[in-house]
Amino acid sequence: MVKKEQPHKDNAPGPFYVCDDCCTACDVPFVETPDLFSYDDQNHCYVTSQPKTESELSRMIRTVLSAELECIRYSGTDPDVLRRLAESGYSHLADVPILDVKPVLRNHVTFNPVDSMDSLLSTGDLAIMFQSYLRSQENDYLTYKFRSLYSDGFTYTFEYSWFEDNYHKVEITFLGEPNCRWLIVTGTTFQIYDWLLAGNRFCDIRWYTRDQWIQSKIWQATPW
C-alpha cells in the first residue's frame, strides 16, 4: 500500500490534495490552475476546488505532474486518472497502488487549422510561429536558441534550447489528411501543447504515443 501523506487542513473535500508542511510557494498551481488553488495566510497552497470538468481535470493533472516538490497528490480511484498519472511516470503520487500501467511518451500530435486560410501555412510557417511564441515567453532568466536542421517542403525539422547546448528536436510534417493536416513529433510536449492552444488557431488536437500513431491511432486530447 502506498503511504498517504498528511493533507493540508484547508483542502477542498475530494481526491486531489496538497500535502501539509511542504510548501516553498513555487507558484506552479497558479500558472495552470489558479481557479483550483489558493494560498493560506502562511503562504502555503491548498486545493480550493476539485476539478469538475474534463478541462479542469486535465489542468489539475498537469499541475500535479509539474509541482517539483511532488506535494500535490491524488487519493481517488478513477482508473483514467490513475492511468494518466502512471503513464506520465508519477504513479507514486497516487495513494492507491497502480498496477500494470507503464510510463509512455505521448510525443506525436496531429492538428488542423481553425480558419481555412491557415490551411495554407507551410511547415516552415508553423516552425516560425512556434519560435515566435517561445520568444514571447522570454524574460531576464529564460531565453531560447534555435537552429534549423532540415526542410523539404513537407517536413521541417529544427532544434531549440533554453539551457546551454541541450537542444530538443521538433519535426513538423504536412499530412493533409482529414483531422490530421499536420503532425509534430517532439520531446517537449508541454511547450508544444501550450503553443497549439495559445492562439485558438488549431483544433482536432490529438496526442499519440509513437506506437499509437503507427498502429492503433488511439489518441487523447493531452499528452499526459
> Which positions lie near ligand SF4, rule CB under 6 A?
18, 22-26, 28-29, 45, 67, 69, 71-72
Report the residue number, 40 or 211, with the smaller CB distance to ligand SF4. Answer: 40
Q: For the CB of residue 27, give the shortest distance to ligand SF4 in the complex, in Å.
A: 6
Report the residue number, 23 or 126, with the smaller CB distance to ligand SF4. Answer: 23
Q: For the CB of residue 38, give the shortest distance to ligand SF4 in the complex, in Å.
A: 10
Distance CA 1, CA 61 (A): 22
Give CB contacts under 8 A, 24+ apart, made by 23-30: 23/69, 23/71, 24/69, 26/67, 26/68, 26/69, 28/63, 28/66, 28/67, 28/68, 29/63, 29/67, 29/72
Residue 106 to residues 61, 87, 100, 220: CA-CA distances in angstroms? 15, 9, 18, 9
Query: For residue 21, what is its C-alpha cell?
Result: 508542511
Report the residue number, 45 or 65, with the smaller CB distance to ligand SF4. Answer: 45
Q: For the CB of residue 32, give the shortest distance to ligand SF4 in the complex, in Å.
A: 10
Q: For the CB of residue 24, give the shortest distance to ligand SF4 in the complex, in Å.
A: 5
CB atoms within 10 A of CB 166: 10
Report the residue number, 95 or 159, with the smaller CB distance to ligand SF4. Answer: 95
